[in-house]
Structure 1
Amino acid sequence: MTDDDTAPIETPCIRTCRVDWESRLCVGCLRSMEEIGHWGGMSPAERRRIMVELPARRGRISPDAAALGALRRKRG
């Protein structure tokens, strides 16, 4: 067993779960629904690769969905 096997699963989830249907991404974490569904079964390397890609995805979220996500983040 390696350290990666016992470490908690890293996640970008911020509990702002709302899907932007145009981009098919979660407005909160920017993952696709497929990525969210498979997250627990992915290797740490796969999860890290996706997490590196996430910031570049922000521009794919529709302006209306992004505004709703920002509002939910402010409320907590």
Structure 2
Amino acid sequence: MLQSPCINICKMDATSGLCTGCFRTIDEITLWSRTDDATRAGILAAVARRRLEQSPTAGEVRGDGKR
């Protein structure tokens, strides 16, 4: 079972319709607990894409070797 991207910062952004903590839509959040791993993997891919759109340098290694 794939782990939820929830980080317990649960606030929906009115403009984007995404949770500011996990970058999921309300439909994705409610679907998560009752769906299969294939669907969860799709949600996680969408979350990763949205995070990059919000912060294009997220996850890159800095000059000092830290993230």
TM-score, scaled relative to structure 2: 0.69
Shift of 1:10: 1.5
| Alignment correspondent of 1:50 | 43
TM-score, scaled relative to structure 1: 0.62
Structure with a larger share of its residues in helix: 1
| Alignment correspondent of 1:11 | 4
C-alpha distance after superposition, 1:12-45 (max 9, x if no partner): 0000101111111000000000111111111111
- Calculate the aligned-residue CA RMSD, in Å: 1.5
Structure with a larger share of its residues in strand: 1
C-alpha distance after superposition, 1:50-73 (max 9, x if no partner): 10121221336xxxxxxxxxxxxx
- Equivalenced residues, count: 53
Q: Which runs of 4+ in 1 moved over 3 A?
A: none
Higher RCO (C-alpha under 8 Å, 6+ residues apart): 1
Unpaired runs of 5+ in structure 1?
1-6, 61-76
Of all paired residues, the percent bearing the same amino acid is 36
Q: Which one of the candidate residues 23, 26, 41 is aligned to 1:30?
A: 23
- Return 40-49 or 51-60, whichever deviates more: 51-60
Taking the aligned partners of 1:42 and 1:23, their CA distance within structure 2 comes to 24
